[in-house]
Amino acid sequence: MSSVSQAEILDPSIPRDVINYALQRRSSVQAWKNGRVLRTDLCDADPYLKKASKYHGIASNRICPVCETVTLVDISYVFGKELGPFSGRIKNPAQLLQMSKEHGQIKVFVVEVCQGCNWNHLHSSYILGDGRSRRPLRKPADWLD
């Protein structure tokens, strides 16, 4: 559970416990610029991540720090015990807003992806939800393993 008690959560859609990974990002880019890291090691987006960002990503206002020409795309993944087998799914902002009202605690990870050079990096993470614990969602009966 987050450090915020459930009595203090007035708006479950407001991100809390936000972590910005800008320093790690800057360090990675600087290591590449200084020749300590190869560009191929830095620009190694998994094909599934790149495809997911193409179809489900949200354009950001940030330019790729490597190729410096392409606008980055953000893609949000949700995790949480309450989500059961649905943990690890991609969600858009409207879905995140709805989920924040239906779940006690959801951890959201935002990954930035460049469609040009395959740069990808964890941009931020945060928690959404109303703070009230719920049972995990069940696997549907027709779910294929």
Q: So where are the chain's domains? A: 9-128
Q: What is the pLDDT of residues 22-39, one digit of tens each?
A: 999 999 999 999 999 999
pTM, two decimal places: 0.85
Give yes or no for a contact between 145 and 135, defined as CB atoms under 8 angstroms apart. Answer: no
Comparing CA positions, the residue from 75, 76, 77 lying closest to residue 86 is 77
Contact between 116 and 71 under an 8 Å Cβ cutoff? The reply is no
Phi, psi angle pair for 79, to nearest 5°: -135, 150
Question: Residue 49: what are its φ and ψ, rounded to 5°?
Answer: -65, -45
Q: pLDDT truncated to tens, each residue of the chain (145 aa)?
A: 445 554 577 888 888 999 999 999 999 999 999 999 999 998 999 999 999 999 999 999 999 999 999 999 999 999 999 888 888 999 999 999 999 898 989 999 999 999 999 999 999 999 999 888 888 767 666 655 6
| Chain position carrying tokens 């924040």 | 100
Q: Which residues of 96-126 are buried (b: 16+ CB within 10 A; e: fewer)?
A: beebbeebbbbbbbbbbbbbebbbbbebbbb
SS3 content of the chain, % helix, strand, coil (to 5): 30, 30, 40
For residue 22, the SS3 value is helix
